[in-house]
Amino acid sequence: MSKVWQERVVYQIYPRSFQDTDGDGIGDIPGIILHLGDLKNLGVGILWLSPVYASPNDDNGYDISDYRSIQPEFGTMADMDRLIAEARRLDILLVMDLVINHTSDEHEWFRKSRDPHSSYRDYYIWRAGVDDGPPNNWTSFFTEKCWEFDPRSGEYYLHLFSKKQPDLNYRNPAVLNEIEEIMRFWLDKGIYGFRCDVINVIYKASLEDGERKFMLTGSEHYISRSGTHEILRRLRSDVLDHYDCFAVGETVFVTPKMARDLCGPDRRELDMVFSFEHMDTDQYFVKWFRRRFHAGRFGKVITRWQTELDWNANYLENHDQTRSVSRFGSDTAFWKESAKMLAVLLLSLRGTPFIYQGQEIGMTNFDFKTMDQIRDIESHYVYRLFRRLHMPKRICWRMIRLAGRDNARTPMQWNASENAGFSTGTPWLRVNGAAQNINFESQNMDPDSILHFYRQMIALRAQSPVLLNGSFRSIRNSRRLIAFEREWCGEKLTVLLSFSVTSQRVAGAGSVLISTAGRTEYSGVLAPYEGIILRTEMKT
């Protein structure tokens, strides 16, 4: 029997950019409450909130200074309790972001830890330098060195992300106990689980020098090491097993084999993982060097994960990725067609679908022109790095424009009014000029809109045993077409997805279950960017 988190569709909210209600230009929890009805109408069953905890906001909340309090910009704990209760009333479950690889350097534990004699010293990873330099040659996710010198104690601390995000020390049992208490605190409040941030890097197996690489030197010492598995099993048996909840891990650089070790049927660690391989198919080497999207490459990777894992956490967008319609479809001539076709893809794969805010109305990449419009810390680090390497400004900007995380973080486009109905104040990040044409209100009134199509597709999945439970078999992955079959109890669905700006002949039989082109019969020709699902009953 399938589980609740397998049946439902998850919607990710980036609270900062969702809906501001107090005019400070920053989205807030009352803003989320305001839209619960819209989310219910969409068919969403689970909400994942990017971090809402107290934070100095070096990395927009992924640097937590107090896990038990709410970021004042977002509201109060009373607002949060109200959100949990109102959501429950609508039968929507809430999932929190659990960021436990690191805390903020302003967290009380870290402040105390700066004192070498404090019992908190060992909560973090402190080491003496070597030959007047840092303890090893590792580099951070944000490209710079990942050790910061603390003059007061004469030692360095490790930070895999920014220097305001010191890594916790999971060799210290006290750290695990603290994290377990935090998880219980939130689960006792009635949340339904966690999205666990960079969870497969938490345990550092050694601090030896890493093999030199362009990015992330040292990562072989901490990616999916056995210590991480032990910690995850502890979190499962000590905490998660005692609640009705689930855990999805964000797992960087995982292979299907590593993923099976984290969430396979016989492993009692995570329920699902987010992998990145499909997101890497339009890049050379690292995401900053984008190459032309190729549906065949993309489809092959998706096929591999669908085949090698029993259950995937499927996503095409999140707050770290660029907008899927701009990236895998077309944000010009075939915007509507391709956004709908991508909805068919996401919602007809085997696994739990995750929709990122704005995806359901086909929001596109930002229209910014200069670096000073960018807020994302990663983009600024990377820009500086490439400038230091003497790359021309024009090329550096192009990289940020094509791959920067702010593409997904522009405020939600609710209507065509000033600031797109997101805020009456000055938005913390500029609203995309496309809001005039791409917004929730106009699509809510238009039965042919992307928003309506998402509603239909979500409802279809919820009612279709074959979409929920069926097996997956790839038919074709080519430059212009991704095609696969789902099968369950004598019923077969054939999913045909065009990635082409022209029509194409593709054989397919059966009755039309849904088509982005609104057709009721299929004659063997797919319209540009059409997505269609055909249904056949199989003779036994």
User: Who contacts 450 (Cβ-Cβ below 8 Å, separation ≥6)?
Assistant: 336, 339, 340, 343, 360, 361, 362, 443
493 interacts with ligand ISL by CB under 6 A = no
User: Who contacts 254 (Cβ-Cβ below 8 Å, separation ≥6)?
Assistant: 200, 223, 224, 262, 273, 275, 276
209 among known catalytic residues: no
- Helix segments in 366-473, DSSP class H: 377-388, 393-403, 440-445, 450-463, 465-469
Question: Of 20, 320, 406, 530, which one interacts with ligand ISL (CB under 6 A)?
Answer: 320
CB 511 within 8 A of CB 486: no
Q: Which residues pair with 525 in a beta bridge?
A: 505
Question: Of 80, 252, 263, 493, which one interacts with ligand ISL (CB under 6 A)?
Answer: 252
Q: What pairing do the DSSP bridges indicate for beta strands 66-70 and 53-54?
A: antiparallel
287 interacts with ligand ISL by CB under 6 A = yes
Q: How many residues bind ligand ISL (CB under 6 A)?
A: 15
74 interacts with ligand ISL by CB under 6 A = no
Least distance CB 250 / ligand ISL (angstroms): 6
Least distance CB 372 / ligand ISL (angstroms): 21
Six token digits for residue 109:
């534990």
* Binding-site string for ligand ISL from residue 358 to residue 397, where x marks contact by CB under 6 A and - marks none: --------------------x-------------------
CB 204 within 8 A of CB 221: yes
- To 5 degrees, how large is the angle CA 249–CA 406–CA 182? 35
Question: Of 14, 62, 147, 428, which one interacts with ligand ISL (CB under 6 A)?
Answer: 62
Six token digits for residue 2:
């399938």
Question: Of 147, 161, 222, 386, which one interacts with ligand ISL (CB under 6 A)?
Answer: 161
Nearest of 121, 220, 218 to residue 168 by alpha carbon:
121
Q: Which is nearer to ligand ISL, 402 or 412 (CB)?
A: 402
197 interacts with ligand ISL by CB under 6 A = yes
Task: Find the distance separating the first CA and the last CA of the chain, reported in whole Å.
Answer: 23
310 among known catalytic residues: no
59 interacts with ligand ISL by CB under 6 A = yes
CB 305 within 8 A of CB 475: no
Q: Which is nearer to ligand ISL, 290 or 304 (CB)?
A: 290
Question: Of 14, 141, 156, 453, which one interacts with ligand ISL (CB under 6 A)?
Answer: 141
Question: Of 405, 409, 461, 486, which one interacts with ligand ISL (CB under 6 A)?
Answer: 405
- Hey, which residues are catalytic here? 197, 250
**Binding positions for ligand ISL, rule: CB under 6 A:** 59, 62, 99, 141, 161, 197-198, 250, 252, 287, 319-321, 378, 405
